[in-house]
Structure 1
Amino acid sequence: MATSRMRQFTVEMTRARDLVGLGQSVYRMTGGRVDGSDMYRAALVHAVAALDSYIHGIVLDRGVDMLMGRLANSGSKSKVGLQLSAVQEILNAPNALMQEVSARAQIAQRLSLETFQKPDDVANGLAMVGISKVWSIAFPNDPGAAKAALGVIVQRRNRIVHQCDADPLTPGAITPLSDGDALDSISTVQAVVAAIDPHC
């Protein structure tokens, strides 16, 4: 059964594909005078953001379930690292509902300092909440290939957002990105999450 976070992830993937479609339409409507590739870049960035948001949601939901005693604490030795004042606020909540609201707020605040995009970061985040060796479990035939495919996309995303996708070999030029490349990246991210989700 799909997690509750999968529905929103699917919505975000549709938005990413719509950005590619918008870029294609702009290119066609202008007879090729306006390049749609910046919309393809935006789509790739959005797909990675959707992955990050999905993993954050899973870690948050499972972390709250562990803290509230609904899920066995089988996490790795990694720590979410709540401050003592946060723990005190959770424990001093007047009732169970407010305790859960407080736990969710405190864990969400703490997780806001993390990114879960690179393959190892995804694995570490999920391991914190009891999902260990996710790449081997989700991709039993070749976890290395799945990690490498995602790693390439995240690396390109980082080049887009931190370096304006500048071509390192040609100063002043932008690294080309086609609509097909963007759609392939979106499909890869979606396949990664689809394989991980049943184990969450």
Structure 2
Amino acid sequence: MVREHPQTREFQAFKTNIEYARKMVVAGQSLAAFQSPILDIGDFYRAAWVQAVGAIDHWFHEELYRRVAELAAQDSPGMPYQLTAFELPLKKVEEVRRGTTTLADAVSEQVRLKWGNVALQNPRKIGEALKLVTEENIWAKAAGQINEWTRGRTAMNEQALKKRYIAITDRRNKIAHEADLVDGSLHERRAITDAEVTDAINWIERIALAIATVLG
């Protein structure tokens, strides 16, 4: 079943990046028949895996920034606690007081400074960042949303969903930081198939859509 996805600029960018990962898988599949000692088709799949994780990492950041800016601009009494408790440097407080910047802009800038260089590839870090924009337990709610989509054919819970996501990001880290080498080897790389990377990409897209649905 095709599920409706958010029409925001941020999610559209995520979809574009995910489709790029899928195209790399297709490229690998199309060249599989021409496998040779100088061409490792698995590299297309490894690149697709890294691209897909990068896509959701980028989306988490952009979604965080957009929602923080919107909430800060509204100055709503229903603002999440972590955002109301977010600390601003005195310099920024003074700029707001003098009217040279708005509160929304000051908060947005500081959130970008705090989270801009933090990889959002760990469920704990993702949950911590998104506490600025929601009081919901996003992983538990996202797991429930996935179960709802499958009409009870899955029994996903918070820990199971986190474990699935960590498995995907761990493999990405092995590819990106360890050349995907088998432990203890200087030249043998882990096997990878188009089916494995396609499953990872599908899960990344499913998780992003579930969390976007929870955020509303």
State the TM-score bracket (shorter-chain normalisation). 0.7 to 0.9
Partner in structure 2 of residue 83 of structure 1: 89
Following the alignment from structure 1 to structure 2, what is the Cα–Cα distance between the partners of residues 110 and 91?
Answer: 22
The one-letter code of the counterpart of 1:136 is A
Q: Is the 8 A contact 1:82 1:107 kept in 2?
A: no
Unaligned stretches of 5+ residues in structure 1: none
Partner in structure 1 of residue 138 of structure 2: 134
Residues 1:125 and 2:125 are matched in the alignment: no
Cα shift at 1:104: 3.9
Cα shift at 1:157: 0.8
1:13 to 5, 15, 18: 18
Cα shift at 1:75: 3.6
Give the direction of change, closer, same or farther, for the CA distance of 1:88–1:144 in structure 2 (3 Å limit).
same
Following the alignment from structure 1 to structure 2, what is the Cα–Cα distance between the partners of residues 114 and 79?
Answer: 20
Partner in structure 2 of residue 110 of structure 1: 114
Cα shift at 1:172: 2.5
The percentage of counterpart residues that share the same residue type is: 23
Higher mean C-alpha deviation, range 103-112 or range 170-179: 103-112
Q: TM-score, normalised by structure 1?
A: 0.84
2:196 to 181, 188, 198: 181
TM-superposition CA deviations, 1:64-83 (whole Å, max 9, x none): 12322355321438965543
1:32 to 32, 35, 40: 35
Following the alignment from structure 2 to structure 1, what is the Cα–Cα distance between the partners of residues 95 and 158?
Answer: 41
Cα shift at 1:38: 1.1
Aligned-residue RMSD, C-alpha:
2.6
Q: TM-score, normalised by structure 2?
A: 0.78
Higher mean C-alpha deviation, range 105-114 or range 182-191: 105-114
